Amino acid sequence: MDKRRVVVTGLGAVTPIGNSKDEFWRRLIAGESGVGPITAFDATDFSTRFAAEVKDFDVEARLGKREAKRMDRFSHLGLAAAKEAIEDAQFPADDAELWRESGVIMATGIGGILTFWQSSEKANRDGTWSKVTPFFIPMLMANAASAQISMQFKLRGPIFAVSSACASGNDAIVTAYNYIANGEAPMMVAGGSEATISPLAVGGFCSMKAMSTRNDDPQRASRPFDKERDGFVLGEGAGVLILEDYEHAKARGAKIYCEMYGYGQSGDAYNIVAPDPESEGVELALTRALKRANIQANDVNYINAHGTSTPLGDSAESNAILRVLGQDTKVAVSSTKSMHGHALGAAGGIEGVATVLAVQNDIMPPTINYENPDPDCVLDYVPNIARKAPVDVALSNSFGFGGHNSVLVFGKLR
């Protein structure tokens, strides 16, 4: 059976630089940073005291007071982004078959860790576990955001969560893509949501020495590919894409942002947290993405890099890109994490939205805080200022602890 073409017809975002896709995009191409001192808790005693927090998010206004009390923050963010994406896609209200046959695949790396932390703290403080909320498990579970979206919109197709660390968002989009490409669903809601800014998660990452400690200048702490980078900046948020069968979208006269050509996935088989210094897994994922999408190396105009601002990760990714696209490649590469931080399992969803908008608008978002070239990172990183240039084909990279590598390929309708 011939594969169906898959297009993007809706977008939604809740991020540290904007609580809608339009605000997110405006501030992204303006090069604004969403990083600042942690306000979620007192971080005085932590080696890293800043993060990229979602700001001014009125959950009760977005979701309603009753529903908000029954969800963890990661579900709040995911449901809000999904609502925006579904509204953006402008589906006919009376298409009962669409909702019956379509599904939701949302990603998270950690799930309801805020619920876990807050409930544990309360039980220990009160000296009893008997008053743990009956919503504790439904709030905690990784599939909660997918389930909430399904219930909100009466989606009865495939509904589940994907969790592959920081590759989760991309892997959720890949899985949704395949349901449509194989003719099993006309539309899928896909992306990722994460909310981990808590003493427990920050403490864990501090112990690993994985995060930047540039406490005196947090807005300049996330500096992917810069020689002075010293670790990632923890972020939170959600990004959601509406993937749709091209023929279905065309028949209803949908606005189409771009086409998803394919993807590539691989495993490092190397280390539970450290990237393979030879980046063989990343190279495999990139190569498989080009092959599955049926494009050549010189077709790629732009790459939204994983680019976490870690010393080993950024150089490994850069070197893999050079090996796959060629040592003389002119491809533009940027890391939007320099502005919105690293949202772990939501990264692929948020950066998927950014990549789709780059294709639609022919604008490459910048890598901000890029000041000192690194001899181990020699690509064009769109330093500090967005660039107006053709973006006919774009890749979006996401790699996760455990050696999970996932690359998405988006492009203009062909």
Question: Per residue in 338-361, pLDDT tens?
Answer: 999 999 999 999 999 999 999 999
pLDDT at position 284 is 98
C-alpha to C-alpha distance for 300 and 213, rounded to whole angstroms? 35
- pLDDT higher than 90, residue 409: yes
pLDDT the model gives residue 34: 98
Could you tell me whether strands 36-37 and 50-51 are parallel, antiparallel, or unpaired per DSSP bridges?
A: antiparallel
For residue 2, pLDDT over 90 is answered with no
Q: Report, as residue numbers or ranges, the catalytic residues.
A: 166, 306, 342
Q: What percent of the chain has pLDDT over 70?
A: 100
Q: Which of 71-75, 91-95, 212-216, 242-246 has the lowest mean pLDDT?
A: 91-95
Dig out the tokens for 235 from the structure: 């972020």
| Residue-wise pLDDT tens digits, 113-128 | 999 999 999 988 888 8
- At 107, is the pLDDT very low, low, confident or very high (cuts 50, 70, 90)? very high
Closest CA to 166 of 348, 333, 315, 336: 348
Tokens of 140: 């905690």
Mean pLDDT, range 24-39, rounded to an integer: 98
CB 156 within 8 A of CB 99: yes
**What is the value of pTM for the model shown?**
0.98
Torsions phi, psi of 168, nearest 5?
Answer: -60, -45
Q: With beta carbons less than 8 A apart as the criterion, state whether 21 and 84 touch.
A: yes
C-alpha distances (whole Å) from 102 to each of 159, 180, 238, 355 are 9, 9, 20, 24
pLDDT of 278 reads 93
CA–CA dist 408, 241 (Å, integer): 13
Residue with tokens 């990237």: 275
Are 244 and 180 in contact, with CB atoms under 8 Å apart? yes
Q: Which helix (H) or strand (E) holds 292?
A: helix 280-293
The residues, ordered by sequence, that sit 6+ positions from 126 with a Cβ below 8 Å of its Cβ are: none
Structure tokens at 270: 């190397």
Q: What domains lie within the chain, and their CATH numbers? A: 6-251 (3.40.47.10), 263-411 (3.40.47.10)
- In this prediction, residue 1 has a pLDDT band, given cuts at 50, 70 and 90, of low
- What are the tens digits of pLDDT across the range 247-273? 999 999 999 999 999 999 999 999 999
Average model confidence (pLDDT) across the chain: 97
